[in-house]
Amino acid sequence: MGVDAVLMRVQQPGTGPRRRRLTQVDVFVDEADLFARLCTGSGLPMLSRVDPYGTLVLTAVEMAQLLSEIDATRRGVTEASQRAALDEVGRLARICQEDSSTELHLEGD
C-alpha cells in the first residue's frame, strides 16, 4: 500500500494531449509504506488527497503547498525513517517546483 513519488518530465508538442509523453526522471519508492501512512494521517488538504490505491498528479505550481505540508508533517514525526521518507519526497517536489516541464506523480499500489 505504499505511495511512490515519481518525478516525470512532460513533453507535449502542440496543445493536444494525444502526443503527450512522460519520461521518468527520478523516483522515491515507498517500500515500507511510510509516506502512505503519513499522508493518510496528516489531516492536511493536499497530503489527504494522496490515494494509496491510485495516482495523484501534481504540477510545479502545486509544489509550494505540498512542500509546506511536508514540512508541517516532518515537524510532527520522531522516527528517522519517517523523516527520511518526507525528505526524499520533498527533494523531488523542490526539483519539480524549479522545473515547470516536470510533474510529481504520487502513485499508490
Domains parsed from the chain with CATH numbers? 4-107 (3.40.1760)
- If DSSP codes are grouped into helix, strand and coil, which group holds residue 26? strand
Neighbours of 91 (CB within 10 A): 15
Indicate if the alpha-carbon torsion angle 26, 95, 28, 37 is positive or negative. Answer: negative
Sequence-distant (≥ 6) Cβ neighbours of residue 69 within 8 angstroms: 42, 44, 45, 46, 47
39-96 residue pLDDT tens: 998 999 999 999 999 999 999 999 999 999 999 999 999 999 999 999 999 999 999 9
pTM of the model: 0.92
- Give me the pLDDT at residue 1, please: 67
12-50 residue pLDDT tens: 777 766 778 999 999 999 999 999 999 998 999 999 999
